[in-house]
Amino acid sequence: MLIHRGKFTLTREHSIHTAGFCILHTALEQLMQQLHLLHPEERSYYETLKFDKRRESYLLGRISAKKAIGALSSFEDLGKIAIEAGVFQFPVVKYAVTHNLQVCITHCDGLGIALSYPEVHPLGIDLERADKAGTGAIREQLTARELALADTLPLPADVAFTMLWTMKEALSKILRTGLTMDLKLLEIRSLEKEGDVYTGHFSHLIQYKAISCHAGAHVCSVVVPGKTSPDLAQFWQFFRETVSFKDQAGNLNTSENTL
């Protein structure tokens, strides 16, 4: 198991806020050693899950969220916090002695990432794996403007399309609607590249912006209010390190399986 936790600042013109994060990579067997972090209500739900894949995704989300809350609040008894699903499946911190903190969760391929943030300053996040098999499905959901933007990026097509998709999905999470709305409303108008990080601006919901980074075959996007300047340098560093760790572990397992 590899776990990175930390904080980053959210600077605005008249205020400064702080968010917490957790980035982890692990297998189900190791996640099951963290069951003590589940609230009794969460544990009861977990026990109803019949398939390992569903159990893994549930634990990736809940464990990363609990540790992100702990990173921000220094609250140690994380088993007293319950995170339940809202009506559109967004996470809600139900029992919080943590001053109105909320969380946003994403997970993929044994990677779990969660952000904890004060309710006055929402955040959204999404993580996806870029692969050629999923490129066609994503392409069909992009607008003509977004397809033109993808062509301008110095990235493989599958990474470019996945980056746009994660920006849109992270925006849907900050809105707490999920992908239940017309996806054209989430259209990305422009992209700016600075180093290996991309900032996206939206055509309609101009009060938000997306910041995206890719590592290996994985792309992660964070959505923040447009006038917020987040200090994400350490977050992206840990994201790259965790993906690299995952990829190396996968290569070792592949080698062992071929012996």
Tokens of 216: 């290996």
pLDDT score recorded for residue 75? 81
State the pLDDT at residue 254: 32
The answer to whether domain 1-120+234-240 and domain 122-227 are alike in fold is yes
pLDDT of the residue at 251: 59
CATH of domain 1-120+234-240: 3.90.470.20
Calpha distance 106→124 (Å, rounded) = 9
pLDDT score for 108: 94
- Residues 28-49 as b/e (b if ≥16 CB within 10 A, e otherwise) read eeebeebeebbbeebeebbeee
Report how far apart, in Å, the C-alpha atoms of 164 and of each of 25, 64, 176, 195 are. Answer: 24, 24, 19, 18
CATH number of this structure's domain 122-227: 3.90.470.20
Does residue 118 contact residue 100 with C-beta atoms inside 8 Å? yes
Residue 143 CB partners (closer than 8 Å, separation 6+): 184, 187
What CA–CA distances, in Å, run from 24 to 82, 127, 139, 233, 239? Answer: 20, 12, 29, 17, 9
Spell out the domain ranges in the chain.
1-120+234-240, 122-227
Task: Quote the pTM value.
Answer: 0.93
* pLDDT, block means (10 residues), the chain with 259 residues: 96 97 95 95 96 96 95 88 90 77 95 96 97 86 95 94 96 90 93 95 97 96 98 98 90 35
**Looking at residue 250, what is its pLDDT?**
72
Q: How far apart are the first and last CA of the chain?
A: 24
Grouping H, G, I as helix, E, B as strand and the rest as coil, residue 64 is: helix
pLDDT at 98: 55
Q: What is the pLDDT of residue 179?
A: 79
pLDDT score, position 97: 62
